[in-house]
Each structure stands twice: as C-alpha cells, then as structure tokens.
C-alpha cells in the first residue's frame, strides 16, 4: 500500500472517530439536560410540600440529580477536548496527504517522461540497425570504477551547531578507510537551497547529506546573506520536488538533524532510502554518527551495516542506549538496506 492510501485511511478513521465522539457528546448533553430538569422539578416539589420528611426526600433526590448533571458536564468537557484534538489530527493528516499526492503526481509525470524517452531512443536504435555500418575494431580499455559522490551540505545560520567539527571528523575517517580513493566528498558549508540545486547539477551525487536544523517536516538552509537574517526553511514537499528535478536522483539522503525522520516518507518517490533522526540529537551524537557511518560506507559495508555501526558508536561515546537509537531509516518496499552496498571492492 502506498503512502497516499495510508494517509487516506488515517483520515477516514479520524472522521469515523469524530462521528462517534459527536454521538457521545450528544448523549452526555442530553443526560445533563435531563438531570438539570430533574433538579428543578425536585426543588419545586420540595418547596410545595408541607411534610418535613417529603421535603427531605425531594431535596435528596435533587442533590442526586445535581451530581448526575455535574458528571455529565465533566464528560461533555472531556469529549469536547477529544473532538478538538481529533480536528488537529485531521488537519495534520490532510496536510501530509496533500504533500504525498503532490509527490506521487510528480513521480508519475517523471515516469511518463522517462518512458517516452526510452521509446524514442528505441526508435532511433532501430533506425540505426537498418543501416549496415563500416566495422572497425579498436582496443577498448576497461572503464574505471565510478567513485561514490557525496554532496555534503552543512547549514548553521544561528551559529549554534558544531558542523565544522563534524566535517573534520568525517574527512579524517575517510582518509583511513579501506577504499578511500573510491569516495569523493563535495562539501558545501553554510549551504543555501540554491547550493542544493547547484550540487545536484554539478556533482550528480549518489548521496545527499544535510547537517543542520530540522523539524516539522522541514529543514533549515543558510540564508546566504547578512548574519542578521534567519535561515531559509524548506519543507519536505519542496525538497522532494528539488530532488526529482534531476535526471539522476540520489540513492541515499542523510538528514543528520533533529526530528528529521518525522514525515520523511513523502520524499521516497525521489530517493529510495532516507536516514534521519527520530528525536532531538546532541552535537556529539551527530558528529560520531556521521564519522562512523562514512567510515563504514568507504570500507565497502552495506548501508544497513553502516547505520548499525553509527548507532554503536553513539552508544560507546555517550554511554546512552536511547541516544544510540536516534538514527533510523525509511526505504521503499523493494529496497533492502542490508544488501545495498554503495562502494564495492575492485575485482
């Protein structure tokens, strides 16, 4: 089942829950009204009677009815709060659904365009086959293995992150890796959104790495201007459009930033595997994770193994098992990260 269908089912369930809550609210409001009416009647009867015992009986009945009215009012307040929370949940799910639908439409249009290009290329090949060319034999050298290209973006508009220390540790780890000559890192410090677009064109990266601030299904790029300006917030819906706007989208997106895993599934139409942080992440954890992750990748380990090594390194340095579980991933159903090796040994 796709992400769009999942969001649609979530919205339908929330609407069903809202209907049930409104029925429950009507029931409690009816109970409160009946109890208040009973209080009124009992008090009238108590005022009319001349018997002391009857007056006491009516007063007791009025008190019991008053307690029922109070309890019904408490339940009304509780259900009203649940209805308000349900409305917020519906709004959030509808926003995610709209983002997923836009991403799906973009992916479908891209697939149609790719299919048309393949058909055109096939027609050209068939035309070339109809003509017998002059055959010349030349010696063809084996192609050099392609390097793993990493577009490494760091953004620190508020000057409160240790992104420079992270980059230094990653570079040091790569220098000691087994296949260091097979990895090429293109660093973009103080990265703007334009740097991402330019990097996709210039580098054609296999991995796009972002270190900075994130949250609320968005990441924060640098402002690219005077220090007094705030950074530029780019939501995941716009990010997926940028990543799809290239003939060779990356194989892996790493978001080394706080709460970056929330809602990240909307990016899957553009990138098959996304690694992010499930909660706020300390600077030390972010640094040692990136260091060990790229050391493993550059040693021929799978993405799954590199992710596990990064978690172990966090636990070793911080002595905190919960912090070690911050890095996690989402992937398309047809991708097994334990079999996904980005740097393969030369045979």
Tell me if 114 is assigned to some domain: no
Residues 243 and 97 in one domain: no
Q: What is the pLDDT of residue 346?
A: 65
Overall average pLDDT of the 109-125 stretch: 86
Tell me if 176 is assigned to some domain: yes
Q: What is the pLDDT of residue 206?
A: 95
Tell me if 131 is assigned to some domain: no
Q: In this predicted model, what pLDDT tens digit does every residue of 334-344 receive, in sequence order? A: 999 999 999 98
Between 147-161, 196-210, 251-265, 311-325, the lowest mean confidence (pLDDT) is in 311-325
3-state SS of the chain? CCHHHHHHHHHHHHHHHHHHHHHHHHHHHHHHHHHHHHHHHHHHHHHHCCCHHHHHHHHHHHHHHHHHHHHHHHHHHHHHHHHHHHHHHHHHHHHHHHHHHHHHHHHHHHHHHHHHHHHHHHHHHHHHHCCCCCCCCCCCCCCCCCCEEEEEEECCCCCCCCHHHHHHHHHHHHHCCCCHHHEEEEEECCCCHHHHHHHHHHCCCCEEEEECEECCCEEEECCCCCCCCCCEEEEHHHHHHHHHCCCCCCCEEEEECCCCCCCHHHHCCCCCEEEEECCCCCHHHHHHHHHHHHHHHCCCCEHHHHHHHHHHHHHHHHCCHHHHCCEEEEECCCCCCCCCECCCCCC
Number of folded domains that form the chain:
2
- Whether pTM > 0.75 for this model: the answer is no
Residue 288: CATH number of its domain: 3.40.50.1460
Given a cut of 60, is residue 269 above it in pLDDT? yes
Domain assignment of residue 76, given as a range: 3-104
Given a cut of 70, is residue 144 above it in pLDDT? no
Tell me if 90 is assigned to some domain: yes
Tell me if 344 is assigned to some domain: no
Tell me if 120 is assigned to some domain: no
Residues 221 and 309 in one domain: yes
* Band of residue 225 on the pLDDT scale cut at 50, 70, 90: low
Given a cut of 90, is residue 2 above it in pLDDT? no
Tell me if 134 is assigned to some domain: no
Q: In this predicted model, what pLDDT tens digit does every residue of 32-86 receive, in sequence order? A: 999 999 999 999 998 988 888 888 999 999 899 999 999 999 999 999 999 999 9
Instruction: Give the end of a domain, one of 87, 104, 121.
Output: 104
Q: What is the pLDDT of residue 332?
A: 94
């Amino acid at each position: 089942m796709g992400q769009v269908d999942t969001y649609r089912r979530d919205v339908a369930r929330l609407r069903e829950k809202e209907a049930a809550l409104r029925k429950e609210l009507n029931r409690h409001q009816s109970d409160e009204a009946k109890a208040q009416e009973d209080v009124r009647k009992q008090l009238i009867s108590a005022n009319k009677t001349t018997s002391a015992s009857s007056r006491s009986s009516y007063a007791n009945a009025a008190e019991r009815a008053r307690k029922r009215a109070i309890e019904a009012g408490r339940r009304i307040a509780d259900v009203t709060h649940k209805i308000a929370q349900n409305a917020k949940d519906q709004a959030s799910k509808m926003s995610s659904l709209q983002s997923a639908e836009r991403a799906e439409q973009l992916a479908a249009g891209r697939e149609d365009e790719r299919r048309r290009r393949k058909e055109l290329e096939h027609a050209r090949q068939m035309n070339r086959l109809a003509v017998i060319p002059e055959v010349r034999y030349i010696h063809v050298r084996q192609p050099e293995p392609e390097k793993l290209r990493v577009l490494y973006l760091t953004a620190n508009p508020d000057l409160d992150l240790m992104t420079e220390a992270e980059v230094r540790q990653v570079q040091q780890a790569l220098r000691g890796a087994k296949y260091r000559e097979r990895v090429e890192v293109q660093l973009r410090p103080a990265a703007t959104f334009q740097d991402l677009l330019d990097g996709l064109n210039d580098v054609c990266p296999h991995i796009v790495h972002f270190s900075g601030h994130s949250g609320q299904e968005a990441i924060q790029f640098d402002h690219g201007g005077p220090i007094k300006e705030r950074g530029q917030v780019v939501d995941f819906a716009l990010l997926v459009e940028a990543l799809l706007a290239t003939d060779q989208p990356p194989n892996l997106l790493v978001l080394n930033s706080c709460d970056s895993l929330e809602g990240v599934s909307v990016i899957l139409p553009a990138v098959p595997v996304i690694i992010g942080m499930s909660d706020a992440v300390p600077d030390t954890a972010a640094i040692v994770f990136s260091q060990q992750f790229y050391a493993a990748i550059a040693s021929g380990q799978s993405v799954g193994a590199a992710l596990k090594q990064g978690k172990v390194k966090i636990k070793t340095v911080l002595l905190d098992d919960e912090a070690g579980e911050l890095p996690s991933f989402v992937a398309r159903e047809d991708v097994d990260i334990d079999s996904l090796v980005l740097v393969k040994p030369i045979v």
